[in-house]
Amino acid sequence: MYTGFLHLHDTLRWLLLLSLVVTLAKYLAGWFGNQPWKKVDNILGIVFTSLMDLQLLTGLVLYFFLSPITKLALADFGAAMKNADLRFYAVEHLSMMLIAVVLVHIGRAKSKKAKTDISKFKIATIFYLIALVVMIAAIPWSRL
């Protein structure tokens, strides 16, 4: 079960990043091209946010129920903080990814409430770009 969830989490990472790149490209074009906000722009935001939430859910299942790495870290948290790999999975990865999820949701909510189309694109782009930077920093690249 652990292996299946880990593969799902890994696969979702790439779908999520692809969705984010496509969404950012469209939003940047809309922002700098002074384009109207269309239904497709809203759908891109929904798809990206939904993938983000699904990724969070699979990550939390791994973290709290399935991962032998986090089980080891949580068994002796003090010792885990002295081990860079355990600390990364027990604290850093989780914290940064939660921050990225919050940034995405704030960006989505604020962009939906924005009064102008340019503001919608601008707000979502800024929050999504910051979330992307946080996500890239939190991805365990050594496991690829």
66-124 per-position pLDDT tens digit: 999 999 999 999 999 999 999 999 999 999 999 999 999 999 999 999 999 999 999 99
Q: Domain total for the chain?
A: 1
Does 143 have pLDDT greater than 80?
Answer: no
Confidence band for 141, pLDDT divided at 50, 70 and 90 = confident
The residue range of the domain holding 32 is 2-143
Average pLDDT value for residue range 21-50: 98
| pLDDT at residue 103 in the model | 98
Residue 27 and residue 121 in contact, taking contact as beta carbons nearer than 8 Å:
yes
Percent of the chain past pLDDT 90, that is, above it, reads 97
Mean pLDDT across the chain? 96
Residue 86 and residue 80 in contact, taking contact as beta carbons nearer than 8 Å:
yes
Cα(124)–Cα(122) distance, integer angstroms: 6
What is the pTM assigned to this prediction? 0.94
Confidence band for 40, pLDDT divided at 50, 70 and 90 = very high
Residue 96 and residue 134 in contact, taking contact as beta carbons nearer than 8 Å:
yes
Does 144 have pLDDT greater than 80?
Answer: no
